[in-house]
Amino acid sequence: MTDSNAADDNWLIDEDEEELPASGLGAPDQRLWRVLIVDDDVDVHAVTRLALRNVSFKGRELELFSAYSGREAYDILRDTPDIALVLLDVVMETDDAGLLLARRIREELHNAIVRVVLRTGQPGQAPEQRVIIEYDINDYKAKTELTTQKLFTTVISALRAYESLNMLERSRVGLGKILAGATNLYQIHSLREFASGVLNQVSAILDVGSDGVLCLMQGDTGVTTVVAATGGYAELNNSELMPTTHPLWPTIVKAFNEKKSQFEHPANVLFIHTQENREVAISVTPPWPLAQIQRDLLEVFCQRIAAAFDNLYMFGQLRKAQEATVVALADLAEFRDSGTGGHVRRVQLLSSTLAQRLHERGAYPDEVTPQLLEMIGLASILHDVGKVATPDHILLKPGIHTPEERAEMQQHAAVGRTILERAANMVDGVSYLTYGAAIAGGHHEHWDGNGYPNQLKGRDIPIAARIVAVIDVFDSLLHERPYKEPWPHTEAVTYIRDRAGKQFDPEVVAALLEMIERDPSIGHTPG
């Protein structure tokens, strides 16, 4: 304060000549408690720094910041994270600069955690009761009553309150991340992607960076496999097995042997045992020891991860069962029509590749979805499953079909769609069977509306069916059938090109032609 009186000049009196002992040894790898001194009197800053020079709390020393006006203090608080305490003068550039700053801290910076201790040399200018009620001030001290010991007590009390509030806030945020993280992790199909998601969630909860390694031990084999690693351990992604020479290895082994989490700073290993008898260790190495609330949060998260691992395993088993069902249906249809050889497998490969090419071209972004890219390959092998209802004398006829036989043959599209739709309706959501039904019922529809069975036109035909329609004909032309010899590659390509905009979606044809131009061997795969 610029007009301080004699009493103000002696506001900090050493009533104890002995140097205050530190409450713990500050470790070089631990953060400091950040304290902001706000006062327009340079001497106040000097004396405060002198009084707090040896103060530490829970092994962490103080880092002191200085501001000489409310405006300067606001900028520091806005730009400097984790300030725990503000020692705030009232009268600076204006008579109420300190009170205005206190209000801006809460209302504009939305910082409800930092502790604010008001110090004034003129108590009457800012009545204590009104200030405490109207402003979110945590303590009010007249400078005349602040001895070194009382300042020490005030600072430690404020830091203890800040730590408690900070842990509560981290707990709230951490629990939110656990719930959101567990939800997201359930949606990941790849084990490595899942593991990377786990590491990201753990790092977010700890707020200590991205170093971590996730190891999976299958059953009782004793083999520890690296599933995913981040940050400083990223090179472990290239190792299938966890190196026994790695610094984390002893703690990981201890966690697996004792079947419980280990917190041995700097190595912290979270142990997870799933219902499917899989044991997982997540190791993190924060630069400071984990607080108990962080440990508790991680233990809760471990329980959610274990459930997610089991869910992922069950999802994988259901997925494999679904894929096996699709393959069995396709094999059943192909078993009766042995002349098609490896047709369905080639259609599977080329349909998946063509869909990916459409995605790269940016074609039909609302139709060429990640789900389509994932499922179209396997679903495409069901395109002719309706042939199970076609009589042998028509299906296996070596010559040209009569109009009546052709009509009978064409019924396989509607039959296939009906069979697969009935099966798909027994499963919630979109599955291979859903796409298979669309493909079976639509791959003989024509872009110009002259196809069958429903004379659909243009984009009314499902995109999966439009893709498979091109690949089905292209592959059939290139390979022998009971009623035809294989066509030369150039003639097959010319046929597909000429039918663009008539039988086939021109965008799909353009994508196929691009594929062939890049790789002329496409379509030459032995049948």
> Three-state secondary structure along 390-433?
CCHHHHCCCCCCCHHHHHHHHHHHHHHHHHHHHHHCCCCCCCHH
**Stretch 454-476: mean pLDDT, rounded?**
95
By CB atoms closer than 10 A (0-12, 13-18, 19+), residue 393 is: exposed
What is residue 9's predicted lDDT score, i.e. its pLDDT? 41
Residue 523: is its pLDDT beyond 50? yes
Q: What is the CATH number of domain 336-518?
A: 1.10.3210.10
Percent of the chain having pLDDT more than 90?
38
Residue 18: is its pLDDT beyond 70? no
Minimum mean pLDDT among 87-91, 134-138, 167-171: which range? Answer: 167-171
To the nearest 10°, report the CA torsion of 304, 305, 306, 312: 110
Out of 143, 177, 387, 397, pick the active-site residue. 387
Read out DSSP for 451-504? -SSS---GGGS-HHHHHHHHHHHHHHHHS-BTTBPPPPHHHHHHHHHHTBTTTB
Coil, helix or strand at residue 136: coil
- Residue 66 near residue 33 (C-beta atoms within 8 A): no
Q: What is the CATH number of domain 189-312?
A: 3.30.450.40
Residue 226: is its pLDDT beyond 90? no
Sequence-distant (6+) residues with CB within 8 A of 87 are 35, 36, 37, 38, 39, 48, 117, 119
Q: Which residue has the higher pLDDT, 233 or 18?
A: 233
Superfamily of the domain at 32-171 = Response regulator (3.40.50.2300)
Domains of the chain: which residue ranges? 32-171, 189-312, 336-518
- 229-259: pLDDT as tens digits: 877 788 888 888 888 898 889 999 999 999 9
Percent of the chain having pLDDT more than 70?
83
**Stretch 458-480: mean pLDDT, rounded?**
94
What is residue 105's predicted lDDT score, i.e. its pLDDT? 94
Sequence-distant (6+) residues with CB within 8 A of 286 are 206, 208, 209, 265, 266, 268
- Residue 89 near residue 119 (C-beta atoms within 8 A): yes
**Stretch 480-484: mean pLDDT, rounded?**
72
What is residue 26's predicted lDDT score, i.e. its pLDDT? 32
Q: Which residue in this structure is represented by tokens 């004396």?
A: 47
Residue 102: is its pLDDT beyond 50? yes
Residue 449: is its pLDDT beyond 90? yes
- 401-421: pLDDT as tens digits: 888 888 888 898 999 899 999
Angle subtended by helix axes 489-498 and 506-518, to nearest 10: 150
Residue 526: is its pLDDT beyond 60? no
- 294-331: pLDDT as tens digits: 788 777 777 777 777 788 778 778 778 877 878 777 77
> Three-state secondary structure along 51-104?
HCCCCEECCEEEEEEEECCHHHHHHHHHHCCCEEEEEEECCCCCCCHHHHHHHH
Max mean pLDDT among 7-11, 110-114, 432-436, 445-449 falls in: 445-449
Identify the band that residue 16 occupies on the pLDDT scale cut at 50, 70 and 90. very low
Helix (H) or strand (E) segment spanning residue 289: none
Max mean pLDDT among 86-95, 201-210, 211-220, 288-297 falls in: 86-95
387 is catalytic: yes
What is residue 28's predicted lDDT score, i.e. its pLDDT? 35
Coil, helix or strand at residue 237: helix
What is residue 130's predicted lDDT score, i.e. its pLDDT? 74
- 326-376: pLDDT as tens digits: 877 777 766 665 555 578 888 999 999 999 999 999 999 999 999 999 999
Minimum mean pLDDT among 1-5, 175-179, 258-262, 510-514: which range? Answer: 1-5
What average pLDDT is seen over the chain?
82
Identify the band that residue 133 occupies on the pLDDT scale cut at 50, 70 and 90. confident
**Stretch 64-69: mean pLDDT, rounded?**
96
Angle subtended by helix axes 343-361 and 463-478, to nearest 10: 130
What is residue 178's predicted lDDT score, i.e. its pLDDT? 57
What is residue 25's predicted lDDT score, i.e. its pLDDT? 26
Max mean pLDDT among 1-5, 96-100, 507-511 falls in: 507-511
What is residue 240's predicted lDDT score, i.e. its pLDDT? 84
Report the candidate in 250, 253, 246, 245 with the shortest Cα–Cα distance to residue 229.
246
> Cα separation of 113 and 465, whole Å?
59
Cα–Cα distances in Å, from 287 out to 83, 103, 165, 284? 19, 34, 21, 10
Strand partners, 284: 268
